[in-house]
Amino acid sequence: MVRPRGKPSLGRQRIEIRRIEDGERRQVTFSKRRTGLFKKASELSTLCGASVAVVAFSKAGNVFGFGEPSVDAVLRHYVPLPGDGAGAVPAPAHVEDSDAPGPEELDALRRAAEQTKAQVAAEQERMRDVADKITQAMADRQFWWEADVEALGEAELPEFARSLERLRDSLLDLTSNH
């Protein structure tokens, strides 16, 4: 593709590294660079089998983290929390850590994490479908618990029953406190 004559795009130009004064631009830059940093950390872990933890704190006080296998696992390996066991001492950078997971174990952990993410996404989708079915079963009724249970399928009935039980328990708690 031929670029029209004129100013080049700012996308790939080298910029001077200094504080960005405009708060909105600084926030956009933080978000984009944080994503890039996490991507590089993921690539490092994938390519080299390294355990990686990156934590970024925004100016607003939000905390963002990335870790392979997880930020918590990497941090606990080198600095255990009180009660986690006898304190671990970080191994020198040049010494191979025999307790560190190997490439096969890291790959297995990554596959398990991906499967878990897929299962969570599928369950969230299923719950949205259940909510939609319950909404349809309500028709013109005012309250969700008045839904037509005959219109619900096998997948929706157990969730509807659990919701009714939670409602009953909440009502019992309210009445016993007064």
**For 28-81, how does the pLDDT look when each residue is reduced to its tens digit (9 = 90+)?**
999 999 999 999 999 998 888 888 999 998 888 888 999 988 888 888 887 776
What's the pTM? 0.43
Percentage of the chain with pLDDT > 90? Answer: 13
What does the DSSP 8-state code read for residue 49? Answer: -
Mean pLDDT within 137-143: 66
CA 157 to each of CA 119, 152, 166: distance values in angstroms, whole numbers, following the listed order: 21, 6, 14
Mean pLDDT of the chain: 77
The residue among 41 and 141 whose pLDDT is bigger is 41
Architecture of the 23-77 domain: 3-Layer(aba) Sandwich (3.40)
Please list the residue range(s) of the chain that carry CATH number 3.40.1810.10.
23-77
pLDDT at site 40: 94
**Distance separating alpha carbons of residues 174 and 178, to the nearest angstrom:** 7
Is residue 133 a contact partner of residue 152, using CB atoms and an 8 Å limit? Answer: yes
